[in-house]
Amino acid sequence: MRLAAAPMATGGNQLSMSALDWMIVLLANGAIILAGVLRSRDTRTSADWFLAGRTLPWWMIGLSLYATVIDSGDLVADAGGTYAVGMSYMLTNWVGVTAGWYLLAHRFAVPMYRRGMYTNAEYLEARFGLATRIASALVQALYRTLVLGTVATTLYLVLAIVGNLGSSAWWCVGAIAACAAVYTSMGGLKSVALTDALQSGLMVAGSVALFVAAWAAAGGWDGAAGRLDAHQEGLSKQLLHVGSDNVARQSTDGDSLQQVERRLLLGGTHDPAADEIVSTNPAWLVALAWIIMGLSYATVNHTQSMRILGARTEWDMKVSVVLAGVVLIVLTFTNLTVGIMGRALYPDPILMPLDTALQVRDSTFPLLVRELTSTGVRGLVVAGIVASAFSTLDSIGSTVPSLLVRDIYARLLVTDRDDAYYVRASRMMTPLVILGSFGFVPLLLQEKGMLLVLLDWVGAFVVPLLAVHLMGEFTRAHRSSAAIGLTVGIVYGTLKLLAPAVALRFGIALLPAALVNEFASPVFSLALTAGVMVAVTAIRGTEASSRPRDLEPLGWLRSSQLAALALHVETERRGTAFPALLGAAVVVLGTVLGFVVFW
């Protein structure tokens, strides 16, 4: 049964942005950017640009961590994701990211911090060798640039739908990206951490305002359940409970028998009566996939570790993830429930009052902004979305250059120039990274939605790095095992990405259907990479210790590490037992919400 979309009671506010709305967007974000530019005047050395001079207090790191997790891509793409998969996706943040932050602050980042390291790829060379460092830097650069592409795409959707700018929205997106490139290249992490903290306030205000409006329009939890079940029996159970199996349905209307057979190479069963292919994934597998995705984000992603490594003390480093976790748990519910409420109001994308090209899951968030908010509030929400875009553009705009300059350029090509030379190189690379991310936009404008595209890429390239980090920290895996395990994991991930196109075009199954499944692939990738590392270690023997080596071997990389160590003068000695307990409590809270309250 298919419902007509419920009429929106907006009081005649279904218009584009007003002058007042645009003024709110420009003034709020303009003030934050100005603060970032002013802050950049203090950036002189590489330790300032890469590590903020190790001056960041816990509250600034915590808010910056949150602002980089929830960017405009997350607000829009994650709402499109929960439109499709429901509450189960909240486990990514509630369990995966909070647990990942805890591991990062209390285990992974500690040896890096104490040895003056600037990137997590440096740690991997100290533990596993140069090849692993290079692979880590390249994988992270690829993955984080893809995320920048999601930010550009979501900004386009918001400005095209809410701002009614049409195709000219791309010019605005380009201007925003260029602006972020300017102040990021000037100030590095010193500017980025401050602007992220300020932008998080705008993000919270805007997302909460939309949550309240969407909740009221759908009739709350019970109202949304009724609307969902009226569209499709049992849909409310699947979307409103974490512990429900994920059932995906693909129409085969108009497909030839050969086309249906080729699609079945990717999994699912054909229901001729309903003329659709049905794929069912058990709740435990879906939950595990989302948790692995969150863990990968928080532990592998140098956007996160870069902030942690800029802490003024280890105590600040550990307390920061407590603040970030609490904010994330609360706002994950408000942000992502918007997608479910949007599904209740528009149970099928073709019911969205939009041009055909924009009738996709990822249009849910901007559509609700347009339909449910009034003048002033609409400006606040869009200001929050633009702020969240800035927070990720500047974060990745500082992170990826740090990886490419330190872990590839200075490590392999130009090894011993003065400090100012490498700061200039990083600044020059920032606009190239930000503007180059637009190349991913066509990949992200797919019917399946940006969230599931990201899941594919994370499973293919990032999860193998998670396995390496876990094995490196918690085992005495042989030094050569990481490069071999990464190679096997990434080859599998690449075949998984290619498999759908090859199956649909040529009728050839590159992998068994189970290995192509988007929820199973992160599990297989983690197990395969770790399994290969275990096998190599069994053959070649264990290391004497899991501790990494202390310092870079030569040139500027070594001198910059010594400079970072010289900055670390802890003026007060505070124990870390209390932050450890608080951090564990945050992880337990997220776990209880996911596996008890909403299961």
pLDDT at 52: 63
Mean per-residue pLDDT over the chain, rounded: 81
pLDDT digits (tens, 9 = 90+) for 449-506: 676 777 777 778 889 999 999 999 999 999 999 999 999 999 999 999 899 889 888 8
Domains and CATH numbers, the chain: 24-41+48-245+301-438+548-597 (1.20.1730.10)
User: pLDDT confidence of 578, banded at 50, 70, 90?
Assistant: confident
Kindly state the helix (H) or strand (E) to which residue 53 belongs, with its residue range: none
pLDDT digits (tens, 9 = 90+) for 35-75: 666 665 555 555 665 666 677 888 888 887 887 777 656 67
pLDDT digits (tens, 9 = 90+) for 559-575: 878 877 777 555 455 66
d(CA 316, CA 51): 14
pLDDT digits (tens, 9 = 90+) for 268-320: 888 888 888 888 889 999 999 999 989 988 888 887 888 888 888 889 999 99
d(CA 4, CA 231): 9
Asked if 80 contacts 362 with a C-beta cutoff of 8 angstroms, the reply is yes
Q: In sequence order, what DSSP letters do the residues of 482-529 get, joined into one string?
A: HHHHHHHHHHHHHHHHHHHHHHHHH---SS-HHHH-TTTHHHHHHHHH
User: What is the arithmetic mean of pLDDT over 431-444?
Assistant: 73
pLDDT digits (tens, 9 = 90+) for 346-403: 988 888 888 887 788 878 888 888 888 888 888 877 877 777 777 667 667 777 887 8
Q: In sequence order, what DSSP letters do the residues of 320-379 get, joined into one string?
A: HHHHHHHHHHHHHHHHHHHHHHHHHHSSSGGGSSS-GGG-SGGGHHHHHHHHH--TTHHH
Please state the pTM of the whole predicted model: 0.83
